[in-house]
Amino acid sequence: MSRGVRRAGAGQGAAAAVQLLVTLSFLPSVVEAQVTGVLDDCLCDIDSIDNFNTFKIFPKIKKLQERDYFRYYKVNLKRPCPFWAEDGHCSIKDCHVEPCPESKIPVGIKAGSSNKYLKVANNTKELEDCEQANKLGAINSTLSNQSKEAFIDWARYDDSQDHFCELDDERSPAAQYVDLLLNPERYTGYKGPSAWRVWNSIYEENCFKPRSVYRPLNPLAPSRGEDDGESFYTWLEGLCLEKRVFYKLISGLHASINLHLCANYLLEETWGKPSWGPNMKEFKRRFDPVETKGEGPRRLKNLYFLYLIELRALSKVAPYFERSIVDLYTGNVEEDADTKTLLLNIFQDTKSFPMHFDEKSMFAGDKKGAKSLKEEFRLHFKNISRIMDCVGCDKCRLWGKLQTQGLGTALKILFSEKEIQKLPENSPSKGFQLTRQEIVALLNAFGSDT
């Protein structure tokens, strides 16, 4: 792995996680020696990702996350767990999420439409009445009847569209805006059986794995004696590409979360003032090849695989945002224009990456079988997004929901190529749309993996 750049400020998401491995000094050489070379199931090497991310992507993504459009995320942290009786919410103070006061939210964001990036939706003179605007209330009365009908048809389609994630209802009274910059992903102290139960349900019930195959280092599984996980990987390699990809994405997401916890750890607290920073001991416990019986480096490689999938999605969705109808709307005309320019610049960089993952290699068998497998893939991932409502720590739940929604949005993009290619330039499309919630999740999820 390249070590030519010194420490940079950490962000959130896949890009930030990859950047942490490149820039932070706590990566032991014994791990570095094993997290190298070409990734499985693609033709990309880790050094190329490191260099591309460090010099092209990460600085711009970090800047984008600071823009108003991308820093405010609306989320419902009070949805009950749909699968088991909750153990109760974490009482540790660092688990708490501080919601953003309404007065702090840019007027264009809180105007009531979950799709506040389309000019056809933003053409209203009554922003002062944004508190009362309903989902379609931001349509200006001067729009043609044809434009109104197109927007209404599109909104109706968007409500019924099949997603890879269970989306929060942004109109729910329980949904609140959160300033992501003031609630960063970091170690909160949430651990033990409650956290294990969440991840165990994700891996054991949703990753296409039979119960007879034991996942390495699973604290809830019986001891396997001398089995160091090789039987698990023998089983994994025997799966079809699509199911291997699914497991690697979940493992990579897990690694990204754990890496952020290690890099932003509560080291000490003096007179009520916490000191956060990298915790080498915690990193070794989770990723050192000796302490994890070789599992740690595999998890870090899966983080790079996650990065590649999300990078590919950004390069594929560029035409959607390049249309003149798309406006990342907050109400601040000058900043909105700058934000869109920065986003398009990032898309251009993603297109220039020479070793993208080829999503066309997935679901490429007979049409009936491929369609069935793709639906199974989608439903398994959607189920994982629902499990995030079972996380007992609010801050962990916030970032778990955001990162799964971001990855789910990336998958939605990758498997909607035909619809994206057919997008009209100056009107909404029934075939493919993204809500603001999905856009914010996508860029912040990728930003936290870099």
CA angle 397, 398, 400 (to 5 degrees): 60
Q: Tell me whether residue 6 is annotated as binding.
A: no
Whole-angstrom distance, CA of residue 413 vs CA of residue 340: 19
Confirm or deny that 186 is annotated as ligand binding. yes
Query: Is 89 labelled a binding residue?
Result: no
**Among 130, 165, 262, 393, the one annotated catalytic:** 393
Tell me whether residue 251 is annotated as binding. Answer: yes
48 burial (CB, 10 Å; 0-12 / 13-18 / 19+) is middle
Q: Over the Cα atoms of the chain, what is R_g?
A: 22
Give the dihedral sign, CA 373/378/381/386: negative
404 annotated as a binding-site residue = no
Amino acid identity of residue 233, one-letter, is Y
User: Do 45 and 39 touch, CB atoms closer than 8 A?
Assistant: yes
Per the annotation, the verdict on 90 as an active-site residue is: no
393 included as an active-site residue: yes
Q: Which of 100, 165, 390, 396 is catalytic?
A: 396
Q: Please check whether residue 447 is in contact with residue 64, taking contact to mean a CB–CB distance below 8 angstroms.
A: yes
Q: Give CA–CA dist 352/331, Å, rounded.
A: 32
CA 412, 373, 409 angle in degrees (round to 5)? Answer: 10
Name the residue type at position 322.
E
How many degrees, rounded to 5, is the angle at CA 159 between CA 158 and CA 161? 60
Q: Tokens 């880790």 sit at which residue? A: 46
Residue in 400, 370, 412 with CA at minimum distance from that of residue 158: 412
Question: In Å, what is the CA distance from 306 to each residue of 65, 284, 415, 448?
Answer: 19, 21, 16, 11
CA distance 183 to 54: 24
How far apart CA 108 and CA 103 sit, in angstroms, is 12
Q: Is 199 annotated as a binding residue?
A: yes
User: Residue 216, CB half-sphere, CA atoms under 13 Å: how many?
Assistant: 24
CA-wise closest residue to 104 among 179, 175, 170: 179
Q: How far is CA 448 from CA 261, 293, 328, 372, in A?
A: 12, 27, 21, 32
Residue 409 in contact with residue 164, Cβ under 8 Å? yes
Residues designated catalytic: 393, 396
Residues annotated in the binding site, as ranges? 186, 188, 199, 251, 254, 286
Residues marked as binding for FAD? Answer: 186, 188, 199, 251, 254, 286
